[in-house]
């Protein structure tokens, strides 16, 4: 590994890229979530907070690794205690963190998040700017990106420069290397300067993705209030000619899928929910892990339905425990759930 593989004083936290042709590389933010020690309160009412690793792309990387797949994370954190902790968490979860960079001036991003008694999520972000927003194109580990079977990203890195240009450059490298591009917009409106800016930027890279996962709420937002359950809305406004798979996640109800050749629905797996944090990321990791090992499922509806049922089970297990990364399931846990009577038939 070259000297430029990492900046800062954290060479001991990098691990070698796994020799795997099925590598899933996740690009974007990793941060610290502060969650109230009691449920159903506003941020102001919370008596105390517990810290937890967060950031959707990092969650997906851990999820893939937990399932036995090969994954890597590319992003920037502060050269601080929290940044070192996050790098270590990835390493301990067998995620290649050699693409991480450490900023000496900006801090690791922080997010205070709670689920209020009325069921609404409340966010308070500290990114003024945070290190994740400052990743430069020159800091990209191009060799790592070129190894990706799947290159996965969100939209939060599009909010500010220089990270926006860096993400576009990384996507271009991955596309040129033959990687499958996977996009989960992961809308977080409080981070954007305006709703119009969010919509414009999220859609600006829409047509570059091969696989897109979107939620019902995101469909409503991106289409200007249209019915997220209307197939015509999804196909006319969100499906683009080069898209290989569009998945609409429906939480406990499962998901819908759209390809060039077929569309359908796969039911959810019933569990008793404790905390929905990370469920969508776990779903994505389950789908990408299957896709990385068998890309033919994009053309085979039976295989695709099995992969989506598997992904639904991943998300279901995650809601039975608190936190995102701690609740990401193992392959055994998913297979045990699917073999139980609670799982619907694919």
Catalytic residues: 281
Of 121, 344, 318, 154, give the one whose Cα is nearest residue 254: 344
| Residue count of the chain | 346
Please answer whether residues 58 and 75 qualify as being in contact, where contact means their C-beta atoms are separated by less than 8 angstroms: yes
Task: Give SS3 for 140.
Answer: coil
How many CB atoms sit inside 10 A of residue 260's CB?
13
Phi, psi of 279 (to 5 degrees): -65, -45
Nearest one of 83, 90, 70, 115 to 8, comparing CA atoms: 83
Cβ-based neighbour number of residue 331 at 10 Å? 15
Q: CA-CA distance, 5 to 23, in Å (whole number)?
A: 18
Residues in Cβ contact with 223 at an 8 Å cutoff, skipping those fewer than 6 apart: 233, 237, 238
Q: Which two tokens stand for residue 321?
A: 């425990």
Alpha-carbon distance values, 225 to 204, 235, 291 (Å): 19, 15, 31
Strand partners, 52: 33
In angstroms, rounded to a whole number, what is the distance separating the alpha carbons of residues 102 and 115?
A: 31
CB 296 within 8 A of CB 303: yes
Paired tokens of 170:
């990384």
Q: How far apart are CA 129 and CA 28, in angstroms?
A: 15
């Amino acid at each position: 590994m070259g000297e430029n593989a990492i900046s800062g004083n954290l060479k001991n936290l990098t691990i070698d890229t796994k020799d795997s042709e099925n590598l899933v590389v996740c690009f974007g933010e990793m941060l610290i979530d502060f969650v109230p020690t009691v449920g159903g309160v506003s941020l102001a009412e919370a008596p105390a907070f517990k810290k937890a690793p967060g950031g959707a792309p990092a969650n997906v990387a851990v999820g893939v690794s937990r399932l036995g797949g090969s994954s890597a994370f590319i992003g920037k954190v502060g050269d601080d205690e929290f940044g070192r902790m996050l790098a270590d968490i990835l390493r301990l979860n067998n995620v290649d963190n050699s693409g991480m960079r450490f900023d000496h001036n900006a801090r690791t991003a922080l997010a205070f998040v709670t689920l209020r008694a009325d069921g609404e999520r409340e966010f308070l972000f500290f990114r003024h700017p945070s290190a994740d927003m400052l990743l430069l194109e020159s800091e990209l580990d191009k060799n790592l990106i070129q190894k990706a079977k799947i290159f996965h990203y969100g939209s939060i890195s599009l909010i500010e420069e220089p990270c926006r240009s860096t993400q576009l450059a990384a996507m271009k490298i991955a596309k040129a290397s033959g990687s499958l591009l996977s996009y989960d917009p992961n809308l977080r409106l409080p981070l954007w300067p305006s709703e119009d800016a969010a919509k414009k930027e999220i859609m600006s890279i829409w047509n570059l993705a091969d696989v897109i996962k979107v939620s019902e709420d995101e469909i409503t937002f991106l289409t200007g209030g249209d019915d997220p359950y209307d197939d015509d809305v999804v196909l006319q406004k969100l499906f683009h000619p080069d898209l290989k798979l569009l998945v609409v996640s429906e939480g406990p109800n499962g998901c819908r899928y759209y390809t060039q050749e077929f569309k359908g629905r796969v039911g959810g797996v019933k569990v008793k929910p404790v905390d929905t944090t990370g469920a969508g990321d776990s779903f994505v990791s389950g789908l990408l892990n299957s896709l990385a090992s068998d890309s033919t499922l994009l053309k085979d509806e039976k295989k695709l339905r099995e992969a989506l049922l598997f992904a639904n089970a991943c998300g279901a297990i995650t809601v039975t425990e608190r936190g995102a990364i701690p609740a990401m399931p193992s392959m055994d846990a998913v297979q045990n759930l699917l073999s139980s009577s609670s799982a619907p038939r694919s």
